[in-house]
Structure 1
Amino acid sequence: MQNRRRFIVGAGLGLVAAATPALALATPAVQRNLSALQRVDWRDHFDALGVGVIVSDTASRALHYWGGDGETYRLYPTSVPLSEELTKLGYTEVVRKVAGPTWTPTPSMRERDPSLPKVVPAGPGNPLGTHALYLSWQYYRIHGTHDTRKIGRPSSDGCIGLYNEHIARLYGLVEVGTRVRLI
């Protein structure tokens, strides 16, 4: 088991480099940040893969995904919440997947800005981008963004944002029931 783990972790360092073509959309600063990352090991956060697991590292602004097959690994740059008060850390899971999501501002958002629309339909003006993974925590999502300037920066009200192209790929891999940890 120890040799297998050493192989997986060692191979994982190469996976970060292999993930680089998927990061072509990322700004040079985001690419440098991700390439400097040490591979996160899912076993440090979960006891088994199940249908898959996600670790979203808010400090490094990176989302790590491992498929339930034990072979699939993806690494994506993310946006993170604007402040620590908006960052909920811990364990949750994907409870729903939506392509073309509508966006409804949370009550606290509407309190801060009453001029916000009640609902924003799918499309270029939607803050959730093209796809959304709904988490068991109310109002929290892993979603795309049409505003690519947000990736690699603090820019959301608690959600984890990805480039639309990346969330579309992740959406195709993730199953409902995928466990998620925000660290």
Structure 2
Amino acid sequence: MSKLTRRGAMKTGLIAAGTFALPGLVRAQSLGDQPAEPSRRNASSFSAQDWRDHFDALGVVTILADTDSRALHYWSADGSDYRIYPTSVPRTDELTRRGYTKVVRKKVGPDWTPTQSMVERFGWTYMPPGPDNPLGTHAMYLTWPAYLIHGTHDTRKIGRKSSDGCIGLYNEKIEELFALTPIGSQVKIA
């Protein structure tokens, strides 16, 4: 009968660990040549954008809301300040309005009046500012009626298709964006 030594146990453990890890390593190496499939549910699956792909020039502030990656991109006037925020986006393509717009009004502590279709579908009614308000703590209104960039108290919505047309951010992120964004800033919803 052979005696098991510490050195022998370590060798055996390393060999066993290598045996179990080998299929994963081989699979990882074989996938190295192929492009990675993007994550469909991960709020952090978005990547950096170049403003030139969407705008002719930077405005005072330039905002791109990318509904596919569920991210909002912010550029300052000279492009030196670039930020990405995770967002909630409209639940369906029918609820999504795409194109160019501007920020026309801003409000801290927004109240909320549902659209007629929301009243018909859900029976929702007017909601004053507060913790139950779906617009969160800050809202930026666009040239399109009923389409906003706003906060949300329901953090489960961020990174998901969960809105009826608006772009939602965590309350602390909309507060930051709100402070950086003057009225008249150019916006693209893509």
TM-score bin (small chain) = 0.7 to 0.9
Work out whether 1:44 is the aligned partner of 2:53. Answer: yes
Superposed CA deviations along residues 65-86 of structure 1, whole A, max 9, x for unmatched, are 0011321111000001011100
3-state SS, counterpart of residue 29 of structure 1: coil
Give the aligned partner of residue 116 of structure 1: 124
Distance in 1 (CA, whole Å) between partners of 2:188 and 2:120 is 29
Q: Which has the larger radius of gyration?
A: 2
Q: Provide the rounded CA distance (Å) in 2 between the counterparts of 1:120 and 1:100.
A: 11
Superposition TM-score, scaled by structure 1 size: 0.79
Among candidates 113, 125, 141, match of residue 134 of structure 1: 141
After TM superposition, give the deviation of residue 179 of structure 1 in Å.
Answer: 0.5
Give 1:69's match in structure 2, choosing from 75, 78, 96: 78
Aligned partner of 1:29 in structure 2 is 42
The alpha carbon displacement at 1:48 in A equals 1.4
**Sequence identity, in percent?**
62
Which amino acid counterpart does residue 49 of structure 2 have in structure 1? V
Q: Which residue of 2 is the match for residue 6 of structure 1?
A: none
Q: Which runs of 5+ in 2 are unaligned?
A: 1-40
Aligned CA-pair RMSD: 1.2
User: 2 CA distance for matches of 1:29 and 1:92?
Assistant: 27
- What letter is aligned with 1:163? Y
Match of 2:69 among 60, 64, 87: 60
Q: Is the partner of 1:176 in helix, strand or coil?
A: coil
Alignment match, 1:107: 116
> 1:165: Cα distance to partner?
0.6
Counterpart mapping for 1:128-167 below 5 A = 128-167=135-174
Letter in 2 for 1:47: D
> Which structure 1 residue ranges, 5 or more long, are not aligned?
1-27
Mapped partners of 1:50, 1:163: distance in 2 = 24
Give the TM-score, by structure 2 length. 0.76
CA shift at 1:29, angstroms? 3.2
Q: Which runs of 4+ in 1 moved over 4 A?
A: none
Alignment length (residue pairs): 150
